[in-house]
A and B are shown apart, each in its own frame.
Chain A
């Protein structure tokens, strides 16, 4: 095993801390951006759903079909499309957040893995000293 010495390990600790911090910052910024995008997309979907819902009775009224069964069916289709649009926004946001969670998990794994390897390298150095008979 090629474990680093103390000098290499010191620089490695700095690098790991830096990468961990920058990684957390990137993840946090991405989360905030996803939150804003999610809010904007939900707002747009709700605006489109509201405008469609307000325009539908007028269209059927002009045709004289507001009291027909078609108007009821049209409302059911419009409600289904609205739910699809809302799920689409939620699913997109959830997918983006899952990617960020994976990156966060990887970042944590790298940080603790490096620290543990440093500890092992330090112990190995001491093992190398202790595995010889000294004083004879």
Chain B
């Protein structure tokens, strides 16, 4: 408990230093108060074994259980008192910092420390924190309140109920016990109280967890968790709870109502415009009608005048004809005088009536024509009114169609507005719902993040602990290993030194023995080498001698034997001069020396031995023989090898794009025969070698 008090006092000092910054108040006496309290708390928890080494009071000896209970009770009371002092100090620090320029809570950055994190406070959180601070502190301490709190902090009774404490007359500086507390007096008082102390009866109840101290008055100590910073989850919920969105539903409805009014206004304007257009067209139709009537009236008047003139002329001419006929009859009567018969009068009556009839007929005919013309004119003059009526009828139909279209458009637009309004209001509601869902989702994510952060911190803490344990174990293992290693190194060095010394001694002995044997072996080798050289020279001389002897014997026998010996034609041997024969003899001797004679000749089963047997053959034959042997080596199956050998020999006889190979069947048969001989020699040698090996092995076995 004392350690916890010290830690909190240290935190207070740290906060004072951090919040106050450059202010000496938070860093001097206030920090000293924290440190002093922490030290006092530490002392109070160690009253039993602290101070002068005085023996326990002989008046009231206590049992170990009583001693422990006494210590627990004193420790609990001290802890409670310390907690209250620390709360007061925190309040004082908050007040002081709040009154200091640049102190905590007064700067522009309104932050709050929650756990190990600093988060920005909302206005609501700041107000709540201020209320909590006022409720927790001593009701808004001013300068006098701060001094009172300091006095309480320095009061002896607040330090675990100790009495008799008085201030030191001489300060101890700005560090520990800066309040000049008389620690010696406190020590004496504590010892006295310890001696006079009668421990109260303590009852511990577990559910709910509390400790009841039977004293006057009885005191109940309830174990509560110290108040910590506000949980981050609450802060997150508070922050996200402030998020809201505006409701635009009424605005949408108002805008839709305005649009409806606008639509009706536009429709009325269109109707008015239509009426104006119809009125204008009606006036135009009337104008056209009037103009047409005027034109037709003028033309018809002209027509009527012309035709009337014609009728008048016909009537005048008819009257003149009738008048002329009457005048002629009158003149004839005058010329006849008194007529004795009615011959003339009958003719005069007929002529007069005929003339009158023709005149009337002419006038009637023109009258009928005039009447017909008048009928046609009346028909034509009625056209303007008829056309104007038809035009006005068509105009009315057009107006009606336009009116119907405008009304239909207005109706459709109003119906569309209703649907659009419903759709937009529904969209607004969905937008708000989506906003709320998104806000809740983000809040949940933040809460989950906080949980993850806490879990991560716990995991990291455990990981760090594991790391420390591992490092400690590792360090211990390293130290053990180093010690073992050092010991082993020392042991190894000792053994190594002994072995080195032994090895050096043995090495020296062996070196001396090796040098002796090497010298002897060198001497022996030189002697054997000289013997080998001498024997080789002797062999060479003997081979040369034997070859010379064989040559001399062959030459002494006859020419055929000599020619056969030298592997040349007899006729050629006979034509050769003595010098040429000597040169041939020397060449033969050199060949004999190189090939060996007798036991020194090339062994059977070698290509040199075969060439030695058939020196006159084309050297390419032996190349082909060697190739056939290679086919045998590459093909373990005899059947395959034989087939490929035949193919090879057949290839030697064929002619390809590069020309003929130049070998005949007899030559390839000779190659095949030589190959068979060579293979047989090789097989014989191998068989002999195997027999020798087996014989040697059996000999060794018998010896063993």
Contacts and interface: CB of A to CB of B under 8 A. Distances in A.
B216 interface: no
A117 B390 CA distance: 17
Contact of B336 (A69, A79, A95): A79
Contact of A134 (B277, B328, B358): B277
B366 A101 contact: yes
A84 B352 CA distance: 10
B314 A101 contact: yes
B342 to A, nearest CB: 8
Interface in A24-40: none
A79 B335 contact: yes
Q: Give the size category of A's interface with B.
A: 35 or more
A98 B325 CA distance: 18
A133 B402 contact: yes
Given A112-B302, A115-B299, A117-B380, A94 B351 contact: no
Interface in B343-380: 343-344, 346-348, 350-351, 354-355, 358-359, 361-362, 365-366, 369-370, 373, 376-377, 380
Given A79-B336, A127-B390, A105 B307 contact: yes
A132 B395 contact: yes
Interface string A33-77: 000000000000000000000000000000000000100110111
Interface in B274-302: 274, 277-278, 281, 284-285, 288-289, 291-292, 295-296, 299-300, 302
B284 to A, nearest CB: 4
Contact of B285 (A98, A116, A127, A136): A127
A86 B362 CA distance: 19
Contact of B398 (A94, A124, A133): A133
Chain A contact residues: helix, strand, loop or mixed: helix
Contact of B387 (A77, A120, A134): A120
Given A73-B343, A76-B344, A98 B335 contact: no
A126 B277 CA distance: 16
A94 B318 contact: yes
B394 A80 contact: no
B250 interface: no
A76 B343 contact: yes
Interface string A89-104: 0110011011001101
Interface of A: 69, 72-73, 75-77, 79-84, 86-87, 90-91, 94-95, 97-98, 101-102, 104-106, 108-109, 112-113, 115-117, 119-120, 123-124, 126-128, 130-136
24 contacts: A72-B339, A83-B328, A83-B329, A83-B347, A84-B350, A86-B325, A87-B325, A94-B359, A97-B317, A98-B362, A98-B365, A101-B314, A105-B369, A108-B306, A113-B303, A119-B292, A123-B383, A127-B390, A131-B281, A131-B392, A131-B395, A132-B394, A133-B281, A136-B402
Given A91-B358, A134-B277, 8 more contacts: A72-B341, A94-B358, A94-B359, A123-B292, A127-B387, A130-B391, A133-B274, A133-B395
Interface of B: 270, 273-274, 277-278, 281, 284-285, 288-289, 291-292, 295-296, 299-300, 302-303, 306-307, 310, 313-314, 317-318, 321, 324-325, 328-329, 332, 335-336, 339-341, 343-344, 346-348, 350-351, 354-355, 358-359, 361-362, 365-366, 369-370, 373, 376-377, 380, 383-384, 387-388, 390-392, 394-395, 398-399, 402
